[in-house]
Structure 1
Amino acid sequence: MEERRRLGDAGRNKSMVDQLQRYGIFSSKRVAEVMEKVDRGLFVPDDTPPYIDSPMTIGYNATISAPHMHAMCLHLLQDHLLPGMHALDVGSGTGYLTACFSLMVGPEGRAVGVEHIPELASFSISNIKKSEAASYLEKGSLSIHVGDGRQGWPEFAPYDAIHVGAAAKEIPQQLIDQLKPGGRMVIPVGEIFQDLKVIDKNLDGTISVRNETAVRYVPLTSRDAQLRGR
């Protein structure tokens, strides 16, 4: 029974990915492959429908982004998620996107998740252990840390790719500093009205910024402010 359920979930996960491709959210074969391997159903709370294209609450006034946003961010970052590269996931939540990053950069690369809610960090580790990325966690090329993501995670910087899963009032300088020349960051910026910004650090250290699309994310804030719902 458990094996039939697992295979059924894999089929629904693949259908979700196929639908996102049909809708033109992304066209990358690499993104499709990694989203098919990392079953979103393993990364949402129980009794939550994982395969519909909608954000889901995960407790602690946090959400897991809708699948189309994950697909879009993976597509935007794919050239900076090649084997051997370093990737940082700020506000890693349930661990889904960090797991995707780890498969894309491979065991010779490094995928780092930073989450300031300890319970979510623990939840994400248990989710990853059930996923295709479990071996990367065991080997240490994937790691989840409890901390203020606005400060990044300097230990493994510089990063080729940085994803921020909550909306900043302004782009944190610490994250720009930890972005490798030639690297890219995807971050929602704004308060009531937000834009998903694509930030490229040029080889000379200068920054290029463009808006990708209008979005709506929970705010990138302190742990206490988040728990108060502010």
Structure 2
Amino acid sequence: MKTLLLLVYMLAATRGAIAQNTQQDTQCVLERAAMVETIRAYARSYADVLGQQGLSERVLAAMGQTQRHLFVPGRSCSVAYADGPLPIGLGQTISQPFIVTLMTELADVAPDDVVLEVGTGSGYQAAVLAHLARKVCTIEIIPQLAEAAAKTLKDLSYDNVSVRLGDGYVGWPECGPFDAIVVTAALGQVPPPLIEQLKVGGRLVMPVGPAYTIQTLTVVEKTGPGQTTTRAVGHVRFVPFTRSKD
């Protein structure tokens, strides 16, 4: 009798947990859809940058497919899909959803591209890029973040993403050359090694400017060997670019 009651209790608890998880999953889907609509609304204010066509449906689909709540502490859907940046610990942040979308759009990633991300953080930007590119190589200088991001990306089956612990300033030559590079931390100038590892016709997107103040979101296009064009997109505020002390 005790065994039967225990089995009934366990079955009820399992059903309750399934129902709770299903409810949470539904909430996450709704919150993520609302986030995408907020991104669409923001894009209308960037017509001078994005053109009349606005954001591409490929990029918006990538934002809608990527489970942002699994890349933030607490994994709360209501928090993860809100319109703003979030702390992820160790003095680092995950960017506002629209900024992630904008930088991804400006990188102009094609399905067969190889992309470098500098500043893995929680792994969210790499996951978004993974929906668009053939291969994503991402570098993080903080060991705890690199390890956690690699685990999250592996658990979510992002098999086309490779995570490396190291100084992103020097890039990742063995993984390149790259069709696009996205840098998610601010520096006073674009690192020359990253330009060297960019293919001709490729784009680099990063915030340029001093730490702890307003920076300029910048797009650098490599037009030929040793030749680039640069354009400023708008004002942003990112955490500072961290260099190795060695």
Smaller-chain TM-score range?
Answer: 0.7 to 0.9
Deviations 1:29-80 (A, max 9, x none): 11110001101111111166111111111111111111111011111113xx
* Paired position in structure 2 for 1:43: 71
RMSD: 1.6
* Paired position in structure 2 for 1:227: none
Residue 207 (structure 1) aligned with residue 228 (structure 2): yes
Structure 2 gaps of 5+ residues are 1-19, 47-53
* Paired position in structure 2 for 1:33: 61
5-14 or 40-49: which moved more?
40-49
**How many Å separate the matches in 1 of 2:58 and 2:206?**
21
* Paired position in structure 1 for 2:15: none
- Picking from 69, 92, 110, the partner of 1:62 is 92
**How many Å separate the matches in 2 of 1:83 and 1:2?**
33
What are the within-5 Å matches in structure 2 for residues 48-197 of structure 1?
Answer: 49-78=79-108, 81-105=109-133, 109-131=134-156, 134=157, 136-137=158-159, 141-191=160-210, 192-197=213-218
TM-score normalised by structure 2 residue count? 0.82
**How many Å separate the matches in 2 of 1:171 and 1:205?**
14
**How many Å separate the matches in 2 of 1:83 and 1:47?**
29
Letter in 1 for 2:180: A
**How many Å separate the matches in 1 of 2:106 and 2:22?**
34
**How many Å separate the matches in 1 of 2:70 and 2:217?**
26
Letter in 2 for 1:23: Y
Shift of 1:118: 1.2
**How many Å separate the matches in 1 of 2:21 and 2:214?**
44
Question: In structure 2, do the counterparts of structure 1 residues 148 and 126 end up closer, same or farther at CA, with 3 Å as the change threshold?
Answer: same
Deviations 1:159-181 (A, max 9, x none): 00100000012111111111111
**How many Å separate the matches in 1 of 2:112 and 2:144?**
30
**How many Å separate the matches in 2 of 1:164 and 1:216?**
13
Letter in 2 for 1:74: T
Q: SS of the counterpart of 1:202?
A: strand
Question: In structure 2, do the counterparts of structure 1 residues 119 and 126 end up closer, same or farther at CA, with 3 Å as the change threshold?
Answer: same
**Larger radius of gyration between Structure 1 and Structure 2:** 2
Say how many residue pairs are matched.
213
Identical-pair percentage: 36
Letter in 2 for 1:88: L
Structure 1 gaps of 5+ residues are 225-230
Letter in 1 for 2:95: S
C-alpha contact (below 8 Å) 1:93/1:115 kept by paired residues: yes
62-71 or 203-212: which moved more?
203-212
Shift of 1:223: 5.3
Moved segments of 4+, more than 6 Å: none
Question: In structure 2, do the counterparts of structure 1 residues 126 and 10 end up closer, same or farther at CA, with 3 Å as the change threshold?
Answer: farther
